[in-house]
Amino acid sequence: MDDRRFWQRIGDVVMVVVGLVWLAPLVFALLMSVRPPEEPVSNGNIFVGSTITTENYEAALKVAPWPLHLLNSVIFAAGVLIVQLFTVTFAGYAFARLTFPGRNLLLLLVLLQIMIPVGVLLVQNFATIRSLKLFDTQLALMIPYWGSAFGVLLLRQTFREVPYELEEAARIDGASWRQVMWNVYIPLSIPAYVSFAIVSISSHWNEFLWPFIVTRSEEVRPLTVGLNKLFSSSEIGANYGQLMAGTIIAIAPLFVLFLIFQRRFIESFATSGMK
C-alpha cells in the first residue's frame, strides 16, 4: 500500500516539525542560560556564545533564596496532598458505597467546585483568609485546596469498581470500617491514588496567582513567586540569561520527577478528566 506509506512519511515529517517548534523555547532558554551575560543573541553565534558560563546561574541564585522557595513549594504541595488523601478517601467511599438522604444534592454541591474553581473567587477567598488571620502563612496557601471535587469523583469511581463481596467478607470476619478501608479499598485503588497525587502535586507546584496574593514574605513564598521576583527585578531587555537560569532552576525539580516517572505522569494526566 504505497498511499499509506506516503502518508506515514508525511506524518513523520509533520511530527518532527511540530516537535522541534515545541522544543525550541526550552532549548533556547538552556542555551541563553549558559551564555555570557554581555553577549546578546544578535552578536556572533546564534546558538552558543564565545564560552559556556555558569555566571547567570550564580547571579540568579543571589536574587532569590531558592532553597527556601523550594522548601516552601514542597511544604505547599505536600501539605495540600496529605490532607486531601484523607478527605477524598472518606467522601469517595460515602458517595460510592453508602445510601443516605441528600446524597445526589451533596454530590452536586461538591461538583460545583469543578465548575467554579477556587482561584476564580479571588476576592472573597482573599477576604476569608484575612478574617481567619491566615494572611502570609503556609496554611493560607493550602487550606482552599483541602477539599477536592476531582479527587472525590476519581475515588468514587474507583471504589465502585471494587467488588462489594470483598467488603462483605471482611465485615463477616468482624473487620471495622477502618480495617475494610485499609485492607480492601485502599490497596485495590493504589493506581488511582498515584494519579491523583501526581495531578495534585503538579498543579500546586505550578500555582502562582493565589500564593502571590495571600503571602507577603519570602519565608512562606513558593518557587513560582520567587521566579516572579526575578522577572520583575531584571530590567527589560537586560539579564535574560539570568532570567532563563532562574526559570530553569524553578522548573527543574518537577521536570526531573517527570523524566523518571514519565509513563505514570502521562497516564495520570490522562485520567485527570476522563470518566
Please, which of residues 54-93 interact with another protein by CB under 8 A? 86-88, 90-91, 93
Q: How many residues bind another protein (CB under 8 A)?
A: 92
Rounded to 5°, the CA angle 219-224-229 comes to 70
Please, which of residues 126-145 interact with another protein by CB under 8 A? 126, 128, 143-145
Task: Using CB under 8 A, pick the residue from 61, 68, 75, 118 that binds another protein.
Answer: 118
CB of 189 to another protein, least distance (A): 16
- DSSP annotation of 184 reads I
Contacts of residue 261, defined as CB under 8 A and 6 or more positions apart, other chains included, come to 198
Please, which of residues 202-221 interact with another protein by CB under 8 A? 202, 205-209, 213
Q: Which stretch binds another protein (CB under 8 A): 11-19, 48-56, 157-165, 188-196?
A: 11-19
Cell of 264: 505514570
What CA–CA distance (Å, rounded) separates 92 from 188? Answer: 14
CB of 219 to another protein, least distance (A): 20
Q: Which stretch binds another protein (CB under 8 A): 54-62, 156-164, 182-190, 225-233?
A: 225-233
Is the separation of the CB atoms in 156 and 95 below 8 Å? yes
- The residue (of 7 and 182) whose beta carbon lies closer to another protein is 7
Q: Which stretch binds another protein (CB under 8 A): 53-61, 108-116, 156-164, 185-193?
A: 108-116
Please, which of residues 147-186 interact with another protein by CB under 8 A? 147-149, 152
Contacts of residue 137, defined as CB under 8 A and 6 or more positions apart, other chains included, come to 215, 220
What is the identity of the amino acid at 34? V
Decide: helix, strand or coil at residue 221: coil
What CA–CA distance (Å, rounded) separates 70 from 224? Answer: 9
CB of 66 to another protein, least distance (A): 13
How far is C-alpha 202 from the geometric centre of its chain's CA atoms?
A: 1
Task: Using CB under 8 A, pick the residue from 45, 51, 117, 130 that binds another protein.
Answer: 117
CB of 169 to another protein, least distance (A): 14
- The residue (of 151 and 220) whose beta carbon lies closer to another protein is 151
Is the separation of the CB atoms in 242 and 37 below 8 Å? yes
CB of 112 to another protein, least distance (A): 6
Is the separation of the CB atoms in 81 and 201 below 8 Å? yes
